[in-house]
C-alpha cells in the first residue's frame, strides 16, 4: 500500500497506515459486476513495494500471466510534488500511453478522487474502473477466482483446512513485521520506535523458530499466502529495513539461518526471481522516503546472494 502521501503519525509519534479506497471483488461468476475473464483485468505494481509484490508473486505462482496483464511503475516516488508513482519510457502504461502517473488511472476511475494513490491496483479494462487496491484482497482473488484459466489451478494458497491457522499468523505478522518495520522507520518518538523495534524482532524470532522445524510457515508440505506475505518483507529486510528503518538488531542473512534459507527457497521458485529487483527496492526506499533520508543517499551494502543453495528441502 505504498503511496504518494507523507507518512502519517499520531500524537504518540506512531506511524499510522491509511485505508485503501477501492474494495470491489472479481468473482468466478458470469453475472457478477466484475466476472473473471481472460484479458479483462490489468495489475499495476511497483517492484519496490512489498504490498504490490505479493500480488505479483501470486500471479506467477498461480500461472495467470496469460490471463491478467501487468505493468510496473517507477520505484522512485516524487514525494515533494506529491505526484507519486510514475510511468515513463522504461515504465509505460500499456493501456493508457498518455498517462504520466498512476494517479491518472485513479482519476480515470473516479474523476473527483483526491485520496491516496497506492499500489497494487487491479483495474478493469472493460469498465475502465479500479476494482481493488487492497493487496490482501487481491491475492485472495488471484488465488480462487481465476482457477478455470490458471496454469496451476490446484495450487491453493488459502486452503479451507488451513485458513484459521493462516489468518491467525497473518494477524500477528502484519502489525509486528509487515507494518512493524514501517512503524520503526517512521516513528517520531523514541517510545514508538522502541515498541516497533521490539515487535519486529520478537516476530522474526518466532518465525525463525517455526522454520527451524518445517519448510513453510503453516504447513511443512505446502506454501500458503502466509508465506508470501512474510516473504516480501523478509526479502527487503537486509537491503532496506535494517539500515534505513533502523531495524538493526540482527540481519536475516547473518543471524537467522532458517529465515534466510526460506527467503532463498521462495526466491528460487519458478518465475519468482524475475519479480525481484533489488536495485528498484533500494532506489525506492533510499531516494523516495526523503523524510527519513533527506539526502537520498543509497547505502551500498550489504551484499546478499539469494541464489545460494538452500536446505529447506531437508524437511520431508
Scan for cell 531495524, then name that residue: 247
Per DSSP bridges, beta strands 69-72 and 41-45 are parallel
User: Could you tell me which of 214, 184, 212 has the C-alpha nearest to residue 198?
Assistant: 184
How far is Cα 113 from Cα 92, in angstroms, rounded to an integer? 22
Name the active-site residue from 41, 49, 70, 106: 49
How far is Cα 187 from Cα 13, in angstroms, rounded to an integer? 6
Residue 15 per-residue DSSP state: E
Check: CB of residue 123 under 8 Å from CB of residue 44: yes
Active site residue 247: no
Cell numbers at residue 277, please?
529487483
Active site residue 256: no
How far is Cα 245 from Cα 237, in angstroms, rounded to an integer? 9
Tell me phi and psi for residue 95, to 5 degrees. Answer: -100, -15
User: Could you tell me which of 87, 61, 72 has the C-alpha nearest to residue 154?
Assistant: 61
Collapse the DSSP code of 140 into the 3-class scheme (helix H, G, I; strand E, B; otherwise coil) and give the result: helix
Name the active-site residue from 182, 216, 256, 286: 182
How far is Cα 172 from Cα 233, in angstroms, rounded to an integer? 14
How far is Cα 275 from Cα 265, in angstroms, rounded to an integer? 14
How far is Cα 155 from Cα 128, in angstroms, rounded to an integer? 30
Residue 97 per-residue DSSP state: T
How far is Cα 54 from Cα 62, in angstroms, rounded to an integer? 12
Catalytic residues: 49, 182
Amino acid at each position: 500500500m505504498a503511496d504518494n502521501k507523507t507518512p502519517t503519525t499520531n500524537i504518540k509519534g506512531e506511524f499510522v497506515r491509511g485505508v485503501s479506497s477501492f474494495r470491489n471483488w472479481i468473482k468466478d461468476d458470469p453475472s457478477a459486476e466484475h466476472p473473471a475473464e481472460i484479458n479483462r483485468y490489468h495489475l499495476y505494481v511497483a517492484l519496490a513495494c512489498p504490498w504490490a509484490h505479493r500480488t505479483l508473486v501470486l500471479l506467477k505462482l498461480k500461472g495467470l500471466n496469460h490471463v491478467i496483464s501487468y505493468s510496473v511503475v517507477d520505484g522512485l516516488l516524487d514525494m515533494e510534488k506529491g505526484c507519486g508513482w510514475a510511468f515513463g519510457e522504461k515504465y509505460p502504461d500499456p493501456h493508457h500511453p498518455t498517462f504520466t502517473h498512476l494517479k491518472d488511472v485513479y482519476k480515470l476511475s473516479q474523476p473527483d478522487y483526491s485520496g491516496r494513490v497506492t499500489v497494487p491496483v487491479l483495474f478493469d479494462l472493460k469498465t475502465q474502473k479500479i476494482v481493488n487496491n487492497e493487496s490482501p484482497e487481491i491475492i485472495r482473488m488471484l488465488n480462487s477466482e481465476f482457477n478455470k484459466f490458471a496454469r496451476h489451478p490446484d495450487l491453493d494458497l488459502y486452503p479451507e483446512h488451513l485458513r484459521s491457522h493462516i489468518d491467525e499468523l497473518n494477524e500477528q505478522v502484519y502489525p509486528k513485521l509487515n507494518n512493524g518495520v514501517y512503524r520503526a522507520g517512521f516513528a517520531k518518538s523514541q517510545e514508538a520506535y522502541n515498541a516497533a523495534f521490539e515487535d519486529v524482532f520478537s516476530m522474526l524470532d518466532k518465525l525463525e523458530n517455526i522454520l527451524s522445524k518445517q519448510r513453510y510457515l503453516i504447513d511443512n508440505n505446502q506454501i500458503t499466502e502466509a508465506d508470501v506475505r512474510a516473504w516480501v518483507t523478509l526479502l527487503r529486510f537486509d537491503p532496506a529495513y535494517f539500515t534505513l528503518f533502523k531495524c538493526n538488531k540482527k540481519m536475516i542473512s547473518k543471524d537467522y539461518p532458517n529465515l534466510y534459507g526460506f527467503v532463498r527457497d521462495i526466491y528460487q521458485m519458478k518465475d519468482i526471481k524475475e519479480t525481484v529487483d533489488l536495485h528498484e527496492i533500494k532506489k525506492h526506499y533510499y531516494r523516495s522516503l526523503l523524510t527519513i533520508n533527506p539526502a537520498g543517499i543509497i547505502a551500498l551494502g550489504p551484499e546478499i546472494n539469494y541464489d545460494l543453495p538452500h536446505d529447506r528441502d531437508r524437511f520431508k
